[in-house]
Every structure is written in structure tokens, then in C-alpha cells.
């Protein structure tokens, strides 16, 4: 069975699941202008399998689809963003207007 990433709106996080097991998650806070990503965690037995990247991609794709800017406080997603400039249009830069 493969990993699936879904938005668990009730828990305010994206979850990567391996069947019934939560392999990792990326927490978020959202309003009508901004999505904030404070923390991502992958279970140790799932590390090195691209799960963190799948969570980052799902979170940023969701922000883009909703027309939100992404304020990334999570060190993992922040580092991932530096390697994926195709998401620069979503990233919120301090001092900028979140609705630009």
C-alpha cells in the first residue's frame, strides 16, 4: 500500500498515511489571506522515504489553490522551499502584503 496525503481539517494538519498509520504530518493555521506552517514531523521508521517532501508539496499546493500566501516557520518546509523555487509565488515574505 502506498502513502497518501490528505488534509485533516479537523486537526488542522496534512497527514501522510500508510494504510491506517499516520506516517507524518504538517500542521497549519489558515485564514482568508495566509497559511502558516509551523511544524512538520515524520515518524522515524518512515524517514528518508520522501514523506516530508510530499507533505510540503501538498501544503503549498493547497495554499496556491486557495489563493493564500504561505508563511513557513517550519525549518523542514523552509529548507524544502529553497530547493523548489517553483513555489516562490506562494511564499510569504516578511514586510510584503499577504494579498499581493
**What's this model's pTM, rounded to 2 decimal places?**
0.90
Q: What is the pLDDT of residue 2?
A: 87
Q: What is the pLDDT of residue 98?
A: 54
- As to burial, measured by CB atoms within 10 angstroms (0-12 exposed, 13-18 middle, 19+ buried), residue 46 is middle
Residue 94 inside a domain? The answer is no
Domain count, the chain: 1
CA neighbours closer than 13 Å in the CB half-sphere of residue 1: 9
Q: What is the pLDDT of residue 94?
A: 74
**Residue 46 belongs to domain spanning:** 3-87
CATH number at residue 61: 3.40.630.30
- Of the pLDDT bands very low, low, confident and very high (cuts 50, 70, 90), residue 68 is very high
Residue 98 inside a domain? The answer is no
Say if residues 36 and 73 touch (Cβ distance below 8 Å). yes
Scored b (16 or more CB within 10 A) or e, 70-89 reads bbbebebbeebbeeeeebee
Q: What is the pLDDT of residue 11?
A: 97
- Give the model confidence (pLDDT) of 1-15 as tens digits: 589 999 999 999 999
Amino acid at each position: 500500500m502506498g502513502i497518501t496525503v490528505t488534509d485533516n481539517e479537523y486537526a488542522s494538519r496534512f497527514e501522510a498515511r500508510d494504510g491506517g498509520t499516520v506516517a507524518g504530518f504538517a500542521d497549519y493555521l489558515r485564514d482568508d489571506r495566509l497559511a502558516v506552517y509551523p511544524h512538520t514531523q515524520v515518524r522515524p521508521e518512515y524517514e528518508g522515504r520522501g514523506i516530508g517532501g510530499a507533505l510540503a508539496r501538498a501544503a503549498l499546493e493547497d495554499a496556491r489553490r486557495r489563493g493564500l500566501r504561505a508563511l513557513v516557520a517550519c525549518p523542514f518546509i523552509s529548507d524544502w522551499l529553497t530547493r523548489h523555487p517553483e513555489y516562490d509565488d506562494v511564499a510569504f515574505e516578511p514586510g510584503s502584503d499577504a494579498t499581493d
